[in-house]
Amino acid sequence: MKVAICNLGRIVSGDWHNPFVAGDTIVTDAGRIVSVGTAAADDADVVIDAGGMTAIPGLIDSHVHVTFGDYTPRQRTVGYLESYLHGGVTTAISASEVHVPGRPRDPEGVKALAVAAQRCFADYRPGGMKVIAGSVILEPGLKANDFKELAEKGVRLAKAGFGAVATAYDYAPLVADARAAGLITTCHTGGSSIPGSGAITGDHLLKIRPHVSFHINGGPTAMPDADFARVILESDMALQVCTAGNLRTTLLCARLAQQHGAFDRFIIATDTPTGSGIMPLGMLYTIAHLASLTEMPPEQFICAATGNNAKVYGLDSGFIAPGKAADIVLIDAPDGGTQSTALAAIKHGDIVAIGAVITAGIPRFVGRSRNTPATTRKAQVVRSRVTQDFAAAAH
């Protein structure tokens, strides 16, 4: 299916070094972006008139507590992932399946859990969202060969923070073995989030050496302020800030990353669902908080939530560029607000309105998100050759 999105007011690339693409049209075919700029839409199967809205890459939430299916045991809710898609999230990355009730704690059990989660989401897209699941929970007893086996089976992620280690320093050899097998390693940061797990601070991170410091701003309790500069200057680990954390240290981390030339490593996520709840608009709120409370421009934080996450996790999405996955979100100034464009609204501190979400080249909705305010402009399908069921419209 070929889809053309035309009449765009602005296109955000996903690359914060070069955040805008010239032109007003994006064409996708067979799940990929094929052109960005001014292509004609004549032979498209579906033509979406964006009405002057802004296109951004689909948001990538790199810290979601998935379990199995579109269900969160922590908040006893079904359908939350589909709800996040209505908040512009087109890819969710598992923060480990630690919320599975009665989750296993032995090496065979945590391996099996990661493989099962990876398999269960390999083709299952809740609401159209891509879910990258299967993050092995690091437990004492896992050996180098276990990580090799997991990598061969398609597991890509490993998580330090919830294992039965004596001290957090005991994660260092486990992370080293997981890294050697090619897994992307992630580590809880800050005060303990569940009873029994200890605080992880800058000194721990620098010895554990994960690829990603999970919620470096605190999950939900922050590490000492002085540790932020140390982690930025003494390592190359990704600096993940999460909605369900400390806002003051989120801003501190953004400013330090910018100041020390480390913004490529600055990534945005939600760390939900958790005790903090289900937050379908969490990514939009954190982008708005960062843009409105720092001097940095809003498009820079959209890129931190898209292209930066894609680079850290090696994804084929996160950018509006030919060859990339056709995951695109149309955003606009919210109806009734004081600003006239999406980017101005974000800088002002408002969350944006979402007018359409396309994932894998398939429009999942066009017109109005279930969760954001209405858009100021109108996006609509102006032509479709795709067979549809219009029965719903008859009522």
β-strand partners of 328 = 57, 358
Cβ-based neighbours of 182, under 8 Å, separated by 6 or more: 151
- Of 202 and 245, nearer to Zn ion (C-beta) is 245
CB of 219 to Zn ion, least distance (A): 6
Stretch that binds Zn ion, among 28-36, 95-103, 232-240, 307-315 (CB under 5 A): 95-103
Q: DSSP per residue over 350-366, as a string?
A: PPPEEEEEEETTEEEEE
The one-letter amino acid code at 181 reads A
CB of 286 to Zn ion, least distance (A): 14
Angle (nearest 5°) at CA 252 between 250 and 256: 120
**Rounded CA gap, 271 and 103, in Å?**
19
Phi then psi for residue 5, to 5 deg, are: -110, 115
CB of 87 to Zn ion, least distance (A): 18
CB of 223 to Zn ion, least distance (A): 15
Burial 206-229 (b: 16+ CB within 10 A, else e): eebbbbbbbbbbbbbbbbeeebbe
CB of 98 to Zn ion, least distance (A): 8
Stretch that binds Zn ion, among 179-187, 264-272, 315-323, 352-360 (CB under 5 A): 264-272
Which of 94, 393, 16 lies closest to 273 in space, CA to CA?
94
**Rounded CA gap, 246 and 68, in Å?**
28
- Of 54 and 186, nearer to Zn ion (C-beta) is 186
Is position 271 an interface residue for Zn ion (rule: CB under 5 A)? yes
**Rounded CA gap, 306 and 89, in Å?**
10
Share of the chain residues as helix, strand and coil, in percent rounded to the nearest 5? 30, 25, 45
CB of 237 to Zn ion, least distance (A): 16
Is position 133 an interface residue for Zn ion (rule: CB under 5 A)? no
β-strand partners of 216 = none
Stretch that binds Zn ion, among 90-98, 153-161, 232-240, 320-328 (CB under 5 A): 90-98
- Of 249 and 341, nearer to Zn ion (C-beta) is 249
Is position 327 an interface residue for Zn ion (rule: CB under 5 A)? no
Residues binding Zn ion: number (CB under 5 A): 2
CB of 179 to Zn ion, least distance (A): 20
Tokens of 237: 């680990």
Stretch that binds Zn ion, among 66-74, 130-138, 232-240, 269-277 (CB under 5 A): 269-277
Stretch that binds Zn ion, among 131-139, 253-261, 271-279, 367-375 (CB under 5 A): 271-279
Stretch that binds Zn ion, among 88-96, 105-113, 143-151, 224-232 (CB under 5 A): 88-96
Stretch that binds Zn ion, among 40-48, 87-95, 229-237, 262-270 (CB under 5 A): 87-95
CB of 95 to Zn ion, least distance (A): 4
- Of 55 and 267, nearer to Zn ion (C-beta) is 267
Cβ-based neighbours of 97, under 8 Å, separated by 6 or more: 66, 67, 68, 103, 113, 114, 117, 133, 134, 135, 137
CB of 62 to Zn ion, least distance (A): 11
CB of 182 to Zn ion, least distance (A): 23
- Of 130 and 215, nearer to Zn ion (C-beta) is 215
Given a contact cutoff of 8 angstroms between Cβ atoms, the answer to whether 90 and 361 are in contact is no
**Rounded CA gap, 266 and 245, in Å?**
15
How far is C-alpha 369 from the geometric centre of its chain's CA atoms?
18
Return the residues of window 356-375 that contact Zn ion according to CB under 5 A.
none
Give the per-residue contact string, 212-241, with Zn ion (x = CB under 5 A; - = no): ------------------------------
The radius of gyration computed from the CA coordinates of the chain, to the nearest angstrom, equals: 21
Question: Which of 6, 21, 93, 95 contacts Zn ion by CB under 5 A?
Answer: 95
Other C-beta atoms lying within 10 Å of the C-beta of residue 59: 32
Contacting positions for Zn ion (CB under 5 A): 95, 271
